[in-house]
Amino acid sequence: MSQDLERVYTINLGKALLSVNTHRATRVINMIKEFARHHMKVESIKIEEDLAKYIWARGAKSPPRKIRVRMSKTDEGYILVSRFDEDAESEITPTKDTKKIEEKVEPAKEAPAKEAPAKEAPAKEAPAKEAPAKEAPAKEAKKE
């Protein structure tokens, strides 16, 4: 099934709160269909089951205030309205971002190698700190 035309919209559904409590989810479904008719210029609209379940998930009284949808025109001539998944769209872009991250990581590996000799110098100072610790027990022995 090839899509001739596909668009992504964010639909504001806040006006559904003005309707009666028990009919809000039904009103949201009708608002989505009205929006699709207006923007896609086609009378026959079908809403995917996943989108309908998402709208009805919190019950008829509290549907979502906004929803991100993908509207696509099918070969049969109707508009299919489905939920927009940002995760599926973002899977393509991280491959480009990872190359940039790898380039930044390589110079960072060189910097700790230069710091490693600096860490050895404080290790030589550590025995000097132990000498005062030996004097402390001697003071305690004098107190007894």
Instruction: Show the tokens assigned to 50.
Output: 């996943």
**Please, what is the average pLDDT of the chain?**
78
Per-residue pLDDT tens, the chain, 144 aa: give them.
444 689 999 999 999 999 999 999 999 999 999 999 999 999 999 999 999 999 999 999 999 999 999 999 999 999 999 999 887 666 655 555 555 555 555 555 555 555 555 555 555 555 555 555 555 565 555 555
Distance CA 64, CA 67 (A): 7
Distance CA 71, CA 27 (A): 19
What is the CATH T-level fold of the domain 5-85, as seen in this structure?
A: Ribosomal Protein L31e; Chain: W; (3.10.440)
3-state SS class at 65: coil
Parse the chain into domains and list their residue ranges: 5-85
Q: What global pTM score does this model have? A: 0.59
Crossing angle of helices 24-40 and 49-56, rounded to 10°:
140
Q: Cα 78 vs. chain centroid, distance in angstroms? A: 31
Q: Summarize pLDDT for 84-121 with one digit per residue, the tens.
A: 988 766 665 555 555 555 555 555 555 555 555 555 55
The enclosing H or E element of 51 equals helix 49-56
